[in-house]
Structure 1
Amino acid sequence: MPRDLVSKSFIRPCGWLLAGALTILPISNAMADDAKDILKAMSDYMAKQKSFSFGYDSSIEVVTRDFEKLQFASSGKVEVARPDKIAVSRIGGFADVETVFDGTTLSILGKNLNVYSQVEAKGTLDDLGERLSSAGIDPPGADILASNVFDTLMDGVTDARHISSAYIDGVECEYLAFRSHDVDWQIWIQAGDQPIPRRYVITSKHLSQAPQYTLQTRDWKFDSDVAANDFKFKAPADAKKVDLSEIAQIDEVPSPEDDGDQQ
């Protein structure tokens, strides 16, 4: 779902040796099976978590008409109570947004614009994801919040590899790489008995300059350690209620006139 959003929108010298090696060496069935097993373990672990929260930093790249690659960064927090509640905050250079879904209503507040919109959307988080996707709204990173992460991410995958172990924020992770027709994506999953996604990178490989979307997570909390949240949206007293189509500048990427005519 979010992988399609990238279409909207370094290797260090010694790294060329690794890149060359991966190009020359055949991908063994064991590498593919290992990658799928690790991803499945992460999917099963996440599916068992009834409530959790984490902070994140994200960035999305845009290529201008002059072939300049720009990177727009945001940070925020996600709180989830399965099967049907989520609250997401995100602040970046162009938007300050709060999104709340309580199982019956989706509410979006543009804090920087002091406007909000509400849409009836009864169902689970998976149902919400399908409705948003049908409406052309694909929140980046939502793949890892699905009830079955494995099936969601593996849809269309043509190649899978367990590259190596790696470290994200000092935490040991398993580094996996996957390919599909339109995008390549990589995921770093924490090693050990808490296989949570620590980093997720999507590359839109058929677009000029191959722009990427990156999501890096932190400060994970589960069940009793999660701060209490009733997931009830409370609009500021002076905020104006508008139609969802009227809420501008809530995306991570600014409009073309602001960023130099993105492609």
Structure 2
Amino acid sequence: MLRSARLLLAFCYLGLTSPLSFAAPSEAVPQSRSTAAPAGPPAIPAPSSPAFAPDTVDPNAVEALLAMGRYLRTLQTFIVTGDSATEAVLDNGQNATFLHRTVVQVRRPDRVRAEIVGSAKPRGLVYNGKTFTLYDNNRRYYTVQSAPPTIDELVPVLRDQYGVEMPLADLFNWGLESDDARRLTAATSLGLERVNGKLCRHYVFRQPGLDWELWLQGTQQLLPCRLSITDVTQPSRPTFSVAYRWNLRPGLNAVTFSYRPVAGMREIGAMRVSPEPYKEAK
């Protein structure tokens, strides 16, 4: 049995490896335990050499996060593919790694399709501005629920009422909360590295309970190349990591954001969750 099926990440979990678990209130379905645009922001000045002081906050590293969030919020239509590895802690204390691929297709302000695949059949989310559908081809059921009119409004509804984290929401929203930067106890740049053939600047950050790294591509239009988060509260230090591939000129149409159940699927009601456990986790 898994003692910790996924990491509880205070900064962001991204939803890239989280299961979309839902069930009819009257049914005892088991819950899974695993886990247009304005001009870009100013260029981020690169330090002359990496700073390795463990407990310093480099303002240039913080500004890179803020610039990333500002730029991501200008994107109107895109596809991002994330190949992720999530370590879960077994009862004997050993880490086990689970691999997933998540494809997120977005047309702002009111269209999203996200699908997660791994060793099992796909599960995902489809949102069309009026309703959202959660589906799980492993358990062979889906649910359709009414939805608010924009993605920004949908994110907290999914999180607080259904226990579903929208992929990438925290990266897009970085800097909107006044305490985002204040939570950092260390931040620095380690220089340039190649990720999937792209030249990206490597940043490392620390905040209570978490060490995390972010690789950013570009100087003005900053796109995440890779993210790695380590839970330092557990002795085995389990890690979540994901590498991103972006398509900023995709061809998306109405079919992309419609859901047709495969043969054998059945529609059920969704089990809403109490917001209290989520608030405690944060």
Do these two structures clear the TM 0.5 threshold for a shared fold by scoring above it? yes
Aligned equivalent of 1:226: 250
Give the residue type in structure 2 aligned to 1:150: G
Aligned equivalent of 2:9: 3
Structure 2 runs not aligned, ≥5 long: 1-7, 14-33, 36-50, 273-282
1:45 aligns with 2:51: no
CA distance in 1, matches of 2:149, 2:208: 31
Aligned equivalent of 2:156: 130
CA deviations 1:167-224 (Å, max 9, x no partner) are 1012111111222213222111103454211111121111231111112111x222xx
Structure-to-structure mapping, 1:162-173, within 5 angstroms: 162-173=189-200
CA distance in 2, matches of 1:132, 1:155: 27
Give the residue type in structure 1 aligned to 2:176: D
CA deviations 1:12-40 (Å, max 9, x no partner) are xxxxxxxxx93xx36555xx111122222
**Partner residue of 2:185 out of 158, 163, 172:** 158
Select between 84-93 and 157-166 the one with higher mean Cα deviation.
Answer: 157-166
Q: Is the 8 A contact 2:54 2:186 kept in 1?
A: no
1:90 aligns with 2:90: no
CA distance in 2, matches of 1:46, 1:96: 26
**Partner residue of 1:210 out of 237, 259, 280:** 237
Deviation of the 1:137 alpha carbon: 2.9
CA distance in 2, matches of 1:209, 1:101: 38
**Partner residue of 1:240 out of 241, 263, 266:** 266
Identity between Structure 1 and Structure 2 (%) = 25
Alignment partner of 2:176: what SS? helix
Deviation of the 1:237 alpha carbon: 5.2
Count residues in correspondence. Answer: 224
Q: 1:134 to 1:59 in 2, by over 3 A?
A: same
Aligned equivalent of 2:207: 180
1:64 aligns with 2:97: no
Alignment partner of 1:129: what SS? helix
Q: 1:123 to 1:207 in 2, by over 3 A?
A: farther
Q: Is the 8 A contact 1:141 1:215 kept in 2?
A: no
TM-score between the two structures when normalised by the length of structure 1: 0.75
Q: Which has the higher helix share?
A: 1
1:104 aligns with 2:110: no
Q: Is the 8 A contact 1:199 1:217 kept in 2?
A: yes
CA distance in 1, matches of 2:188, 2:209: 17
Structure-to-structure mapping, 1:8-19, within 5 angstroms: none
TM-score between the two structures when normalised by the length of structure 2: 0.70
Give the residue type in structure 1 aligned to 2:169: A
Deviation of the 1:143 alpha carbon: 1.6
Alignment partner of 1:116: what SS? strand
Alignment partner of 1:3: what SS? coil
RMSD: 2.6
Aligned equivalent of 2:59: 33
Q: Is the 8 A contact 1:90 1:98 kept in 2?
A: yes
CA distance in 2, matches of 1:151, 1:157: 15
Alignment partner of 2:183: what SS? coil
Structure 1 runs not aligned, ≥5 long: 10-20, 247-263
